[in-house]
Structure 1
Amino acid sequence: MKTLYDFTIKNIKNQDWNLESLKGKVVLIVNVASKCGFTKQYAGLEELYKNYKDKDFEIIGVPCNQFGGQEPGTEEEIENFCTLTWSVTFPLAAKQDVNGDHESPLYAWLKDSQSGLLGMKRIKWNFEKFLIDKEGKVVNRYSSLTEPKAIAADIEKLL
C-alpha cells in the first residue's frame, strides 16, 4: 500500500521534491488558486502553518487551474502572489491537475485513500484539503467550505 512518501512532485521552482523528506510529519495538502472565492483561506492556512510548523507539521499548497480557470498564472506569478498578498511561507508545489486524464499521481492516490461526500472520488473545487498522519497515510478529507482553523484540533491529535 502506498504512502505519501512514495511520491515525488515538482515544487514551485519546478525542482523534484521527494515527499519522503516529510517522513514523521503531519501534512496538510491543499489544492489552491489565486482568483477563487476561497483564496482568503491562505491566511488561515498560514496561521496553521505558523502555529504547528515547529511541531513536525507541514502544508503543501498545490496550485490547480481546473476550476473556472482560477489559477491562470505561471509558477513564478503564483509564488509572488502568495508571498506578497498573503505572506505565505509554507511550501508550494508546481501547478497540477487534480482530476481527469492528466491528474497527478499524488492526487489519484489522495482521492483513492479518502473519498469525498457520498463516496465522490473527484475534487469538487479549489481549497479541498487532505490531512496525512506521521506514517504518510491520509486520515481525513475536508471540503472547500472547511476553514483551516476548523482543522486545528485534528492536527493536534496527530502531532
Structure 2
Amino acid sequence: MPAAPMLTPGEVSMRAGIAISALHFYERQGLISSIRTAGNQRRYPRDVLRRLAFVRVAQRVGIPLVRVREELERLPGGRTPSRRDWQRLSGAWRTELEDRIRHLEQLRDDFTSCIGCGCLSLRQCALANPGDALGREGAGARRLLGPLQTDQR
C-alpha cells in the first residue's frame, strides 16, 4: 500500500488559507508537525488540514493556543481530532466562552456608566476602581507613576 502523499508548506498554506509563517509558528507551538525530506524541506501529512481547522476554530473563539495544544496532546497517538473530540471539547469551552461573554457584558455596562465621568471620581468609577478596592487599602494615592516613569498614553 503506497504511503499517503505529503503536502508542501505552500500546498497546506493555500488549502488552509493561512500564511506559511503561521504553519511554522503552529509547528513551534507543538500544534502540528512535519517531517523533513532528504533536502531538509518540510512536508505535512494530509490530516494536518483538519488539525489546522481545529486550531483555527478554537483560536477564533478565544481558546488560548496553550490549551489547544494540551487537548491535542491528550489524543492517543497524536491523532487528528475527530467530530466526537470536537463535541467534547466545544462543550467544555462553551462554558468558558459564556463566562467571558458575561464578563465583557459587565465591562460594557460599567463602561457605559463611566462615560463622561473623566475618572475624576475614583471612589465610584467601576472601571478604574471597581467596588472602591483602592479605598480599602487606606487613604492616599495608590497609582502614582515613579519619578523616572512617564504615562505612555
Do both share a fold (TM > 0.5)? no
More strand by share: 1
Which protein, 1 or 2, shows the higher relative CO under an 8 Å CA cutoff with sep ≥ 6?
Answer: 1
TM-score after normalising by structure 1:
0.28
TM-score after normalising by structure 2:
0.29
Could you say which structure has the larger radius of gyration? 2
